[in-house]
Amino acid sequence: MDLYKKIITLACISLLISGCQPEQEAEEQQVYAIPVETGQIKQGQIASFYETHATLEAPQSAQVVSRITGLIIDLKVEEGQQVTQGQLLATIDAKRQQYDLDKADAEVKIIKQELDRLIKIKNKQFTSAERIAKLEFNLKAAIARRDLAALQVKESQIIAPIDGVIASRYIHIGTMAKEFDPLFFIVNQQQLHGIIHLPEAELGSIKLGQHASIMTAAKQHHNASVLRISPVIDSQTGTFKTTLLIPNPNQQLKTGMFTQVKLQYDSRDNAMTIPYEAIINQDNQYSVFIADGDKALQKTVQLGYKQDDMVEIINGLELNDNLIVKGQQNLKDDVLIEVINRKNLASADQ
């Protein structure tokens, strides 16, 4: 009897164990879906850019200097003031130069009177051709001295040589200006230049008139275009100089500003574009995940141009693919997913 009871007990235990195993296996085989967010593949224009930096320069500027020595007796402009070509900027005391002009003018008149008198003499025995020739040479020299004195008087009026703005003023009323001393610095900022140096490999991608954009430290964006391309490659740096023309009618840009430059190489219409964050890069092999029902499928893609946070897809995707844009870093091919988009979450909250 005892042996019979033991056999029955062992059989019951065996049945209980075998009944629990399917439940445990079911629990172990349960798979959880990975939440992801999907986005729409877009079609539109995208461009290729080269990014660099440039310091803005004024193509037209002038250092105004004194041509005579004298005391500054009048000052007409201040720094930051807009001036036009020919406008009076300052006046130097020219009394000494005026005295020299009056003296030279008197000498011209005396010599001219004497020369006229000799020419009018009817009896040529009282004069000689040599004397007349000498007076004629003296008259020319006197006229030259008079013109030089008149020029110095004129140069006491300091005139703006170009249109522009007074960038610097180096003098005050009462300053003793010497010859060739700097008085003002004028810049014309209606148009500015940006000088950039591009790698030799980019020479074939640049052409005159090509569009570019610049951004200042204040995040202001301005249009530019390629004005000049140097035909010479710098052997030390392997770069070539390119000059950008930047219209500045409102003069918001200033000479010396440090700017970021985006030079547009090419643009494509009707390009297939996706957010760059959707790309997975594994050993320079690019791929994305798309949602196919409740499964994630991995697709290898070929990239084209990149602009800001968007990238062009040359092949590997279709416009109607349901692209996974968030959560793809945790995915594997054919894994179970749950699409949770922001619109769905907003509807659930309501």
Q: Angle, to 10 degrees, between the axis of helix 95-120 and the axis of helix 129-154?
A: 160
Q: Mean pLDDT over residues 106-125, rounded?
A: 82
Structure tokens at 48: 């290729």
Give the lowest-confidence range in 23-27, 141-145, 200-204, 324-328: 23-27
- Per-residue pLDDT band for 347 (boundaries 50, 70, 90) equals very low
CATH T-level assignment (fold) for domain 61-93+156-187: OB fold (Dihydrolipoamide Acetyltransferase, E2P) (2.40.50)
CATH 3.40.50.880, applies to 50-59+188-267: no
Structure tokens at 45: 């224009």
Cβ(244)–Cβ(193) under 8 Å?
A: yes
Q: Cα separation of 295 and 300, whole Å? A: 17
Cβ(76)–Cβ(121) under 8 Å?
A: no
Q: Which residues have CB under 8 Å from 126's CB, separation 6+?
A: none
Q: Mean pLDDT over residues 257-275, rounded?
A: 90
pLDDT of 28 higher than 70: no
Q: Which residues have CB under 8 Å from 212's CB, separation 6+?
A: 223, 224, 225, 226, 244, 261, 262, 263, 264
The 3 state secondary structure assigned to the chain is: CHHHHHHHHHHHHHHHHHHHHHHHHHHHHCCCCEEEEEECCEEEEEEEEEEEEEEEECCEEEEEECCCCEEEEEECCCCCCEECCCCEEEEECCHHHHHHHHHHHHHHHHHHHHHHHHHHCCCHHHCCHHHHHHHHHHHHHHHHHHHHHHHHHHCCEEECCCCEEEEEECCCCCCEECCCCEEEEEEECCEEEEEEEEEHHHHHHCCCCCEEEEECCCCCEEEEEEEEECCCCECCCCEEEEEEEEECCCCCCCCCCEEEEEEEEEEEEEEEEEEHHHCEEECCEEEEEEEECCEEEEEECEEEEEECCEEEEEECCCCCCCEEEECHHHCCCCEEEEECCHHHHHHHHC
**What's the start-to-end Cα distance of the chain, in Å?**
71
pLDDT number for residue 71: 96
Cβ(244)–Cβ(227) under 8 Å?
A: yes
Q: Which residue has the tokens 């640049």?
A: 206
Q: Cα separation of 340 and 336, whole Å? A: 13
- Per-residue pLDDT band for 142 (boundaries 50, 70, 90) equals very high
pLDDT of 256 higher than 90: yes
Structure tokens at 278: 């959707």
Structure tokens at 301: 């893609």
- Per-residue pLDDT band for 344 (boundaries 50, 70, 90) equals low
pLDDT of 10 higher than 50: no
φ and ψ at residue 178, rounded to 5 degrees? -105, 165
CATH T-level assignment (fold) for domain 34-48+269-349: 2.40.420
Q: In this predicted model, which residue has the larger pLDDT, 335 or 186?
A: 186
Residue 337 CA, chain-centre distance (Å), reads: 46
Q: Mean pLDDT over residues 70-79, rounded?
A: 96
